Chain A
């Protein structure tokens, strides 16, 4: 093959306007130097609509093999096969060098793209040439993120008597699911499902729970990672705190509660919520007067356990060794104040769905009563549990920040269903109220979901097709302006409360975590999986798997399923005591030598 120089490499159009694409000129230069390659064609060189012209060119240059290189070269194969037949060659001598297929996506993957072309030129399948290296495995696992996905993955692994470190950024595990009141479509109480699991995590002998901690640095190879974890100072001893709450009672500083989605206030010495795991108090250093100015210290004086509160505690860094890492860092909700036309943040009774979720919850700011915000004597807008202030009419607007070219182009997948659930819960608590849902398309896509949608429709909720353009306040009422498409009329609906069904967005830390772990994110910021269809939990980096919403929007059942899948991946490597390194870490030279060896073997066989 080398002497004949009869191969042509055709580069199909791989430029898509992105700046971060594979460096094609560099690959071109590399390809021309490969032995056996006599010609390189670019899209401009041949006409794709004319196989006969291509055939003539093949004959003229005495070519016998064709390699099609590019992001998705498969679509050109039929044309070149035809040309090969027309020029009297074997149509099976058309080879593909697909960059996307073998994971060469960005500029950094240029060496891999070179290797892909080299494999195709030498006729060696890339999968064979790029054999993964096998490494030994540390049986301990690190799970980043203590939401439902992280909890599920930890429990699965710990159930097989392997050690798990569960690292959570906030003071408690539970994540977003702990904030929800009910789950769709079964309307089970979210806390009833989640809290037993949380408690199990807290008591499990194989799980080392590290709340209020952050991953700072990751080093090592797949199977043997050394992870530096920043233990932020809780300023209260996890061991001795008895959870009596006197410190919080006496603490003079107030700030908004993250757990209640900003609807209530909490103290600087606080517990995120009463069922928190670990059920221990901590001090928020960003607002604590003692930390900020060195005065106060009331909590130390009132604490019944001597030495429990140490306001001068410093952050510390601990190092742990793990074999696998599961990333389950979840999501954040879309910032509804970006939509000026809906007046979130401007009108007191325009709420996000997460805020309403807390409002409905029996442990929420109003004890489960649906209430409007009213002005108190000091002029602050607060939720009033008084019955006269319960809204008579509520509008729920779908697709806030999802399916929108100006914000997030993707569908957030859960908003339709949770909006229907919220409509049901509102109807349950306020049977006489008028609930309007404004949607673009209803996406009820799962088991029992369509039935749930029909059930809500029959409950007397007005489900209106049309995207409202604006919400305006007149007096105490809000006006929603919308076109009712199915009934062909304009609506200016007077309501007392507007709920914005905000979509999901990648977590604030996801870019940082991706960089630490050497995994990639897609255009929207979600983590890239190895293969969306067949391998949604592995990443291109060995020993690192992803689970939950951080991979892409999904609901609780899907998150749980994916977390279990991630755990099974990890247990697989622990059971084999071997982990396969990903192809990414192989160098071009390694592949080249392998290709040459293999091609010689192949020729020998022939």
Chain B
């Protein structure tokens, strides 16, 4: 495959948080130390080589950065301090911007000011819509308190209207992310002429389901045992997030009630568990990124911080909202609800299709594609081996 050497690729990757890697002398230590390396998937030296040589086209169709578990073994043992692990993360950011056909992601990753401005504008829009379609509890606030002492939240911000907003936003975001995944498929599978995937293979690979979607088993091979806590908390955070997301998008009517239910009611229990997951996870990752004692939290791009801070503010306002409502403070409830939405909506709009959040979608899909490619390649080599043996 002939391709043009791109001399600006290096400078471009610096904007995505890459560190200097010119000191790499291609010794292959990173590949050998990596527990995800198999024959055919040369990890991560192949990617480093592509960057060093400025092979933009190869880099854009490269799936390897998505398979990286960021355990940091390669960076820790790298004899040149070239930080291959951090580079994989930078390339992930770069790939997110490549898969995003709108080009918005590229702009947001490259400019801190633009990202903050977008957040502020979105927050302003949310505020205007909120003030237009909800009612401020004014005058005699006693009428906003329910019989059980809780604030009547559905009188102020009826769940049906919020739900409508949810669905409109979710629809847009889903559309964007699906098209992005399609573009990812185009780059990784379609443009790679060495792999011919038949239609049936897409279903065959699903038989490997547990291997594809639960790669955590592989993490156990990693040398860094400290990472067990890291990955458990990451899983807890992701599950809590998914639970909260499902509840709010699909069951808001069940979740946002005027009546204060008993503490052991599933509504409150589920809410508390997922909030705990979010809160503990965020605090842990925040401290990790500040202390920088682990290889995978040594370097932080500003988008990493944006995601963490927005998620933290969302969780915090959610917790405050809950207590203001329970203890019957209607005005505070109303304002906190506004702030909650003002943080939540920009977070989802920016992070889901254009930034860090999208790894939740891209990573499972990349594992799926990787197994697909691997299966096809293996079959191919198997046939070749057989034919050579017969000869």
Assess the B33–A470 pair: CB atoms within 8 A.
Answer: yes
Choose among A405, A465, A483, A488 the residue with the greatest number of B CB atoms under 10 Å from its CB: A483
B-chain residues with CB within 8 Å of residue A441 when the two chains form the complex: 25
User: Does B272 have its Cβ within 8 Å of any Cβ on chain A?
Assistant: no
Measured in the bound complex, the distance between the Cα atoms of B80 and A469 in whole Å is 14
Return A493 CB to nearest CB of chain B, in Å: 11
Measured in the bound complex, the distance between the Cα atoms of B78 and A469 in whole Å is 9
User: Does A404 have its Cβ within 8 Å of any Cβ on chain B?
Assistant: yes
Assess the B31–A405 pair: CB atoms within 8 A.
Answer: no
Number of interface residues of A (CB under 8 A): 21
* Binding stretch for chain A, among B34-42, B125-133, B138-146, B172-180: B34-42
User: Does B45 have its Cβ within 8 Å of any Cβ on chain A?
Assistant: yes
Among B25, B32, B77, B79, the residue within 8 A (CB) of A483 is B32
Assess the B37–A483 pair: CB atoms within 8 A.
Answer: yes
A-chain residues with CB within 8 Å of residue B80 when the two chains form the complex: 405
Measured in the bound complex, the distance between the Cα atoms of B80 and A467 in whole Å is 12
Assess the A440–B32 pair: CB atoms within 8 A.
Answer: no
A-chain residues with CB within 8 Å of residue B27 when the two chains form the complex: 399, 440, 466-467
- B59-87 at interface with A (beta carbon < 8 Å): 77-81
The contact string, 1 if C-beta is below 8 Å from chain B, for chain A 485-514, is: 100111000000000000000000000000
User: Does A338 have its Cβ within 8 Å of any Cβ on chain B?
Assistant: no
Assess the A469–B32 pair: CB atoms within 8 A.
Answer: yes
Measured in the bound complex, the distance between the Cα atoms of B100 and A548 in whole Å is 61
B-chain residues with CB within 8 Å of residue A399 when the two chains form the complex: 27, 79
Assess the B78–A483 pair: CB atoms within 8 A.
Answer: no
Among A341, A404, A485, the residue within 8 A (CB) of B28 is A485
Measured in the bound complex, the distance between the Cα atoms of B38 and A481 in whole Å is 11
Question: Known: A483-B42, A490-B37. Is A467-B81 also a contact (CB below 8 A)?
Answer: no
User: Does A403 have its Cβ within 8 Å of any Cβ on chain B?
Assistant: yes
B-chain residues with CB within 8 Å of residue A490 when the two chains form the complex: 31-32, 37-39, 42
Number of interface residues of B (CB under 8 A): 20
Assess the A467–B29 pair: CB atoms within 8 A.
Answer: yes
Question: Known: A403-B79, A405-B80, A406-B79. Is A469-B29 also a contact (CB below 8 A)?
Answer: yes
User: Does A482 have its Cβ within 8 Å of any Cβ on chain B?
Assistant: yes
Assess the B25–A440 pair: CB atoms within 8 A.
Answer: yes
**Nearest neighbor of A491 in chain B, beta-carbon distance:** B32
B-chain residues with CB within 8 Å of residue A403 when the two chains form the complex: 25, 79
Assess the A482–B32 pair: CB atoms within 8 A.
Answer: yes
**Nearest neighbor of B26 in chain A, beta-carbon distance:** A485
B-chain residues with CB within 8 Å of residue A489 when the two chains form the complex: 39
Return B385 CB to nearest CB of chain A, in Å: 15
A-chain residues with CB within 8 Å of residue B39 when the two chains form the complex: 489-490
Choose among A403, A466, A489 the residue with the greatest number of B CB atoms under 10 Å from its CB: A466
**Nearest neighbor of A398 in chain B, beta-carbon distance:** B27
User: Does A391 have its Cβ within 8 Å of any Cβ on chain B?
Assistant: no
Assess the B25–A468 pair: CB atoms within 8 A.
Answer: no
Measured in the bound complex, the distance between the Cα atoms of B80 and A404 in whole Å is 6
Assess the B28–A483 pair: CB atoms within 8 A.
Answer: yes
If over half of B's interface residues share one DSSP class (helix, strand or loop), that class is named, otherwise mixed; here it is loop
A-chain residues with CB within 8 Å of residue B78 when the two chains form the complex: 405
- A142-184 at interface with B (beta carbon < 8 Å): none
Return B142 CB to nearest CB of chain A, in Å: 67
Assess the B37–A404 pair: CB atoms within 8 A.
Answer: no
Assess the A467–B38 pair: CB atoms within 8 A.
Answer: no
Measured in the bound complex, the distance between the Cα atoms of B74 and A470 in whole Å is 12
Return B226 CB to nearest CB of chain A, in Å: 15
Measured in the bound complex, the distance between the Cα atoms of B29 and A482 in whole Å is 7
Measured in the bound complex, the distance between the Cα atoms of B84 and A469 in whole Å is 14
A-chain residues with CB within 8 Å of residue B32 when the two chains form the complex: 466-470, 481-483, 490
Among B25, B33, B38, the residue within 8 A (CB) of A469 is B33
A-chain residues with CB within 8 Å of residue B33 when the two chains form the complex: 341, 469-470, 481
- B8-35 at interface with A (beta carbon < 8 Å): 25-29, 31-34
**Nearest neighbor of B82 in chain A, beta-carbon distance:** A405
Among B42, B81, B223, the residue within 8 A (CB) of A488 is B42
**Nearest neighbor of A405 in chain B, beta-carbon distance:** B81
B-chain residues with CB within 8 Å of residue A469 when the two chains form the complex: 29, 31-34, 77
B-chain residues with CB within 8 Å of residue A481 when the two chains form the complex: 32-33
The contact string, 1 if C-beta is below 8 Å from chain B, for chain A 427-469, is: 0000000000000110000000000000000000000011111
Assess the A466–B28 pair: CB atoms within 8 A.
Answer: yes
**Nearest neighbor of A403 in chain B, beta-carbon distance:** B79
Assess the A467–B42 pair: CB atoms within 8 A.
Answer: no
Among A341, A466, A482, A485, the residue within 8 A (CB) of B77 is A341
Return B313 CB to nearest CB of chain A, in Å: 38
**Nearest neighbor of B76 in chain A, beta-carbon distance:** A406
**Nearest neighbor of A480 in chain B, beta-carbon distance:** B32
**Nearest neighbor of B32 in chain A, beta-carbon distance:** A469
Assess the A483–B81 pair: CB atoms within 8 A.
Answer: no
Measured in the bound complex, the distance between the Cα atoms of B275 and A108 in whole Å is 60
A-chain residues with CB within 8 Å of residue B29 when the two chains form the complex: 467-469
Measured in the bound complex, the distance between the Cα atoms of B25 and A535 in whole Å is 32
Return A557 CB to nearest CB of chain B, in Å: 27
A-chain residues with CB within 8 Å of residue B77 when the two chains form the complex: 341, 406, 469
Choose among B33, B34, B38, B81 the residue with the greatest number of A CB atoms under 10 Å from its CB: B33
A-chain residues with CB within 8 Å of residue B79 when the two chains form the complex: 399, 403-406, 440, 467
Measured in the bound complex, the distance between the Cα atoms of B37 and A278 in whole Å is 56
B-chain residues with CB within 8 Å of residue A468 when the two chains form the complex: 29, 32
Return B29 CB to nearest CB of chain A, in Å: 4
**Nearest neighbor of A485 in chain B, beta-carbon distance:** B28
Measured in the bound complex, the distance between the Cα atoms of B38 and A403 in whole Å is 27
A-chain residues with CB within 8 Å of residue B31 when the two chains form the complex: 466, 469, 483, 490
**Nearest neighbor of B45 in chain A, beta-carbon distance:** A483
**Nearest neighbor of B73 in chain A, beta-carbon distance:** A469
A-chain residues with CB within 8 Å of residue B38 when the two chains form the complex: 490
**Nearest neighbor of B38 in chain A, beta-carbon distance:** A490
Measured in the bound complex, the distance between the Cα atoms of B373 and A230 in whole Å is 72
**Nearest neighbor of A468 in chain B, beta-carbon distance:** B32
Return A258 CB to nearest CB of chain B, in Å: 30
Return A152 CB to nearest CB of chain B, in Å: 34
Measured in the bound complex, the distance between the Cα atoms of B34 and A207 in whole Å is 58
Measured in the bound complex, the distance between the Cα atoms of B42 and A466 in whole Å is 13
Measured in the bound complex, the distance between the Cα atoms of B78 and A405 in whole Å is 8
Measured in the bound complex, the distance between the Cα atoms of B34 and A468 in whole Å is 11
**Nearest neighbor of B23 in chain A, beta-carbon distance:** A405
Measured in the bound complex, the distance between the Cα atoms of B37 and A465 in whole Å is 17
Which residues does A use to contact B, with CB under 8 Å? 341, 399, 403-406, 440-441, 465-470, 481-483, 485, 488-490
Please give 8 more A-B residue pairs, beta carbons under 8 A apart, in addition to A399-B79, A440-B25, A469-B29: A341-B33, A399-B27, A466-B28, A466-B31, A467-B27, A467-B32, A483-B32, A490-B31
- 14 A-B interface contacts by CB (under 8 A): A341-B77, A399-B27, A405-B78, A405-B81, A466-B28, A467-B27, A468-B29, A469-B32, A469-B33, A469-B34, A469-B77, A481-B32, A482-B28, A483-B37
- State the 6 A-B residue pairs at the shortest beta-carbon distance, nearest first: A469-B33, A469-B32, A483-B28, A467-B27, A466-B28, A404-B79
